[in-house]
Amino acid sequence: MVLSNATVMKGHTLVKEPVYVDEQGLISDNPDVGGGEIDCNKCLVMPGLVNCHGHTAMTLLRSVGAGLPLQRWLEEAIFPLEAKMRPEDIAAGMTWGAMEMLSGGTTMVADMYDFPEAGAKALAASGMKGNLCRVGLAFSDTEEVPPNRLKECIDFVVAHPEGGKIVGDFCIHSEYLTKPKFCTAMAEANKVFQRPVHVHVSETEKEHQECIKRHGKTPIRYLADMGLLDYGGYAAHCVWVTDDDLKIMRDKRVTLVHNPTSNLKLGSGIAPIVRAKELGVNVALGTDGCASNDNLNMFEEMHLAGLLAKGSTRNPAALSVWDLIDMATINGAKALGREDTGVIAPGKQADLIVIDLKKPHLYPVNDIASLVVNSMQASDVIMTIVGGQVVYNRGVFKHVDVWQARENLDRCLKSVHSSST
């Protein structure tokens, strides 16, 4: 396949040259690839976006619990509904969320939710890539809750090895929902697999301070001392992390996943991403679940991350537009151990998006990188390509029957929201 006549984002430069995609779905420098030509005149071709922290099936709970602070939001609004979710609900919510992401230019997601096998199947069927996990949870140190949880975490990692469209990672929900014995056991198990760990860290001041009271150390220090970060990881939120925490994250190759919309909506604060970058921490972006967002729009996260960084440091040069594009693309790919994607270069996976530049809000084109961060909307994406396959093209999903997906979602919504009030 050849994408012709486009402006192409190659690293931090913009070039007018074709993108060749070979039969293996890799970007090639050989013009003799088959598969036809796609005319991308007056379009931008850039790497697909990587949503580095989500609970995609929470599309079923869009906008639920608005106005509540995190702990009450979780306990009063979210947990009671999640307790009613079955694998088919997760699948329906995942498919619906994948549609939103694919049509908005996201090609890969790091997802943390219940029934990950059902989620993984639905995500793979949509054509998207993802790093998923069985959530590590243990409310008590004397028994595993629910039973066999650690085994399920390990089984999921074994079932989804590196290199596939769906990769299994380890996950600790958070310091506050996972007792030390479980954390130690997971760290021990990961010595075999050496996978990065997906975790919520220091999202609220209360969580951060309570961890210090409980253990005499911050959540990041605690997780590092447990051995959970020995093979890297991606830590969502990190709103209250200290300089020492950031240095640990840098040294342990733990990515700070910034979720600006979610952190603002729940009143959690603003993560110190400028300081993190100064100290050499990899920073990526995520939407979080869409009950705390209320969409899965990575263009919005890029835009907001830039504004917050500049406003909170009172420095308009705090982050460049290229820093923000990297956070939404290659930094996310790195965080998930996906060094084969996130950038347009020969030999990399063809995970690409095509954006229509003929819209009023995208013209005149004085600075494309600035347009991407500050002007573009998810709805400007007209084509999404994953692993060399066109999976979304001008409103049409190659692998998802939209009406069937809506019917499934409506059926699940009825069941999840029934007798909840």
Residues that bind Zn ion (CB under 5 A): 288
- State which residue, 100 or 288, has the beta carbon closest to Zn ion: 288
Identify whether the C-beta of residue 248 lies closer than 8 Å to the C-beta of residue 229: yes
| Distance (Å, whole) CA 38 – CA 48 | 17
**Least distance to Zn ion, CB of residue 286, Å:** 8
Tell me whether residue 287 or residue 384 sits nearer to Zn ion (CB atom): 287
One-letter amino acid at 159 equals A
Between 288 and 323, whose beta carbon lies closer to Zn ion? 288
Angle CA(54)–CA(341)–CA(45) in degrees, nearest 5? 95
Minimum distance between the CB of residue 202 and Zn ion, rounded to whole angstroms?
13
Indicate the length of the chain as a whole number.
421
Query: Cis omega before residue 294 (within 30°)?
Result: yes
Cβ nearer to Zn ion, comparing 288 with 351: 288
Q: Which two tokens stand for residue 418?
A: 């029934």
Shortest Cβ distance from residue 58 to Zn ion (Å)? 9
Give the residue carrying structure tokens 């997971």.
Answer: 186
Burial environment of residue 373 by CB neighbours within 10 A (0 to 12, 13 to 18, 19 or more) = buried
CB of 53 to Zn ion, least distance (A): 6
Closer by beta carbon to Zn ion, 83 or else 345: 83
Distance between CA atoms of residues 295 and 318, nearest Å? 26
Report the nearest approach of Zn ion to the CB of residue 289 (Å).
6
Q: Which of 176/392 has CB closer to Zn ion?
A: 176
Q: Where are the alpha helices (DSSP H) in 298-417?
A: 298-313, 321-328, 330-335, 368-370, 402-417
The residue among 291 and 382 lying less far from Zn ion, judged by its C-beta, is 291
Taking CA atoms, 96 is separated from 380, 384, 408, in Å, by 19, 16, 9
> Which one, 175 or 288, has the nearer CB to Zn ion?
288
Which residue's entry shows tokens 């830039």? 306
Nearest distance from residue 259's CB to Zn ion, in Å? Answer: 7
Q: How far is the CB of 86 from Zn ion (least distance, A)?
A: 21
Residue whose CB is less far from Zn ion, 173 or 215: 173
Beta strands in 194-232 (DSSP E): 197-201
**Contact, 287 vs 293, CB < 8 A?**
yes
φ, ψ of residue 256 in degrees (nearest 5): -85, 115
The single residue listed with the structure tokens 């909170």 is 312
Q: Both tokens of residue 79?
A: 């947990």
Residue nearer to Zn ion on the CB measure, 169 or 288: 288
Distance CA 191, CA 202 (A): 25
Contact 169, 128 (CB under 8 A): no
Q: CB 269 → Zn ion: shortest distance, Å? A: 15
Residue nearest to Zn ion (CB): 288
What gap in Å lies between CA 417 and CA 400, rounded to an integer?
A: 24
Minimum distance from CB of 55 to Zn ion (Å)?
6
